[in-house]
Amino acid sequence: MSKADLDELRLAYKSAVDDWVSAIRAEESLATPDHSMIAMEKWDASHFEEEDAHAKVTKAREAYKAALRSMNYGI
């Protein structure tokens, strides 16, 4: 694996983390004093988006780690 490939995987991971942080902040912003059902549904929906973003981080992290293991340890 080339350095450029590793850089690409690292940047994909960092981008996924940035998206996850944005999703967390979006979810947090919906925890408002508005206790209505509509507000709760929007908050719940944002939580599912946060979970999806976290899954993407995990996938990108594992891909980057696998590439690093392959390069450094040959496994």
Is the separation of the CB atoms in 56 and 20 below 8 Å? yes
The residue ranges of every structural domain in the chain are 3-73
Is the separation of the CB atoms in 46 and 23 below 8 Å? yes
pLDDT for 74: 87
Global pTM reads 0.89
Q: In Å, how far from its chain's centre is CA 54?
A: 4
pLDDT for 27: 97
Give the number of other CB atoms < 10 A from CB of residue 74.
6
Over residues 14-55, the pLDDT tens digits come to 999 999 999 999 999 999 999 999 999 999 999 999 999 999
Is the separation of the CB atoms in 1 and 63 below 8 Å? no
Over residues 54-67, the pLDDT tens digits come to 999 999 999 999 99
pLDDT for 68: 96
pLDDT for 1: 81
Give the number of other CB atoms < 10 A from CB of residue 14.
13
